[in-house]
């Protein structure tokens, strides 16, 4: 069949116009994604700068430096350094149990270098460190990446609710009445947990998308007992933190009631895990002043919060570097 040249010309021009429009749309979409990624990188720096600007308007830097000079360094390091090692050992045990439950049989000694080396990534971003574990096991053990990522997501979920549980327990034991707004927050979190367990109780057959099925695999396999056991396994790290911080604070001349630390440390730790600051800084320092500013010199509190944060990061980095050669050999 012959096509009129004029029609063919119109069709040709239409196709060209359509191609230009599609190309322009794809370019605009790519620019939008690039802009969004750039914004996500910039926002934490801006938030951290704003928080510290507000903090240092309230607490002069010179006083913080003076507080750091007055610390009993030997006592402080003797308390904090063993805690960092013990934290790694408990953390590795928890990760080993989760991987054995949902992914593959793997020994504690094989997980230890994985957990330690991914602490190097966690210094930059907590989810990045968890993703590093998933990538490592995918390459080393051949486990599908999303299935390991699902287990890491399960681990992070229980870590969150461990902090919620201990914080609410501390609030319940507090001698004074807690704010009603905080009660509603606890109620909402526990209500979601109940709904979450009910939704996944039947295997979550309502999840249809393949990627979602893979990412939520560990939740679909988990029973309430798995949640409870992991909470129990992780509890020593939090309980150690409360005791270690109680004595480490005294090296800075700060004496806080243990019950207060038990109640508010989970909130401080939770703020450090949120992706709103660079290297987990900013929000924790603000909450140290918010919760304890009326019970101790603010400069000493700020000095301790920064010193504890840096000490833990440096120790994590040192432990990660210690196991890095072995981890590198196993991936070679």
Taking only the tens place, the pLDDT of each residue in 88-102 is 999 999 999 999 999
8 Å CB contact between 135 and 331: no
The average pLDDT across 162-176 equals 79
Q: Are residues 80 and 36 in the same domain?
A: no
Check whether residue 36 and residue 79 sit in a common domain.
no
H/E stretch holding 245 reads helix 224-248
DSSP 8-state class, residue 104: -
Residue 3 pLDDT > 60: no
- Please report whether residue 189 resides in a domain: yes
> Would the pLDDT of 1 be above 90?
no
Question: Rounded to whole angstroms, what are the CA distances from 136 to 93, 118, 129, 225, 331?
Answer: 17, 9, 11, 28, 8
Is residue 95 located within the same domain as residue 224? yes
b/e for 305-317, b at 16 or more Cβ within 10 A? bbbbbebbbebbe
Q: Position of tokens 């807690």?
A: 178
The mean per-residue pLDDT over the stretch 240-262 comes to: 93
Give me the domain span that covers residue 5.
Answer: 1-41
CB-based contacts of 247: which residues, under 8 Å, 6+ apart?
79
- Domains identified in the chain, total number: 2
Whether residue 48 lies inside any domain: the answer is no
pLDDT tens digits, residue range 55-78? 988 999 999 999 999 999 999 999
| pLDDT tens readout for residues 220-243 | 899 999 999 999 999 999 999 999
Same domain, 251 and 289: yes
193 and 87 assigned to the same domain: yes
Evaluated on CA atoms 276, 264, 269, 78, the torsion sign reads positive
Q: Which of 20-24, 302-306, 318-322 has the highest mean pLDDT?
A: 302-306
pLDDT at 33: 56
In a domain, 6, yes or no: yes
Quote the radius of gyration of the chain (alpha carbons, Å). Answer: 25
The residue with greater pLDDT, 136 or 107, is 107
CA dihedral 121, 125, 127, 129 (to 10 degrees): 10
């Amino acid at each position: 069949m012959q096509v009129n040249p004029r029609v063919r010309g119109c069709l040709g021009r239409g196709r060209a116009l359509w191609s230009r429009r599609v190309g322009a749309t794809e370019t605009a979409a790519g620019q939008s994604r690039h802009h969004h990624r750039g914004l996500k990188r910039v926002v934490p720096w801006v938030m951290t700068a704003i928080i510290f600007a507000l903090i240092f308007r309230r607490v002069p830097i010179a006083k913080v430096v003076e507080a750091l000079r007055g610390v009993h360094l030997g006592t402080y390091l003797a308390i904090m350094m063993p805690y960092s090692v013990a934290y790694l050992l408990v953390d590795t045990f928890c990760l080993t149990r989760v991987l054995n439950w949902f992914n593959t049989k793997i020994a504690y000694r094989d997980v230890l270098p994985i957990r330690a080396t991914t602490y190097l990534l966690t210094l930059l971003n907590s989810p990045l460190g968890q993703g590093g574990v998933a990538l490592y096991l995918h390459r080393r053990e051949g486990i599908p990446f999303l299935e390991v990522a699902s287990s890491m997501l399960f681990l992070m979920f229980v870590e969150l609710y461990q902090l919620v549980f201990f914080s609410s327990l501390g609030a319940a034991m507090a001698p004074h009445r807690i704010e009603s707004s905080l009660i509603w927050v606890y109620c909402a979190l526990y209500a979601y947990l109940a709904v979450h367990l009910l939704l996944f109780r039947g295997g979550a057959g309502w999840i249809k998308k393949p990627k979602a099925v893979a990412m939520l695999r560990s939740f679909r396999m988990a029973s309430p007992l798995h949640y409870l056991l992991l909470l129990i396994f992780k509890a020593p790290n939090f309980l150690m933190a409360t005791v270690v911080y109680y004595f480490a604070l005294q090296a800075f001349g700060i004496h806080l009631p243990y019950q207060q630390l038990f109640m508010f440390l989970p909130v401080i730790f939770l703020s450090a895990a949120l992706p709103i600051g660079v290297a987990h800084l900013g929000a924790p320092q603000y909450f140290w002043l918010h919760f304890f500013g009326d019970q101790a010199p603010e400069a000493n509190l700020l000095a301790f919060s920064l010193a504890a944060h840096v000490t833990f990061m440096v120790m994590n980095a040192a432990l990660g570097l210690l196991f890095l050669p072995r981890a590198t050999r196993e991936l070679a």
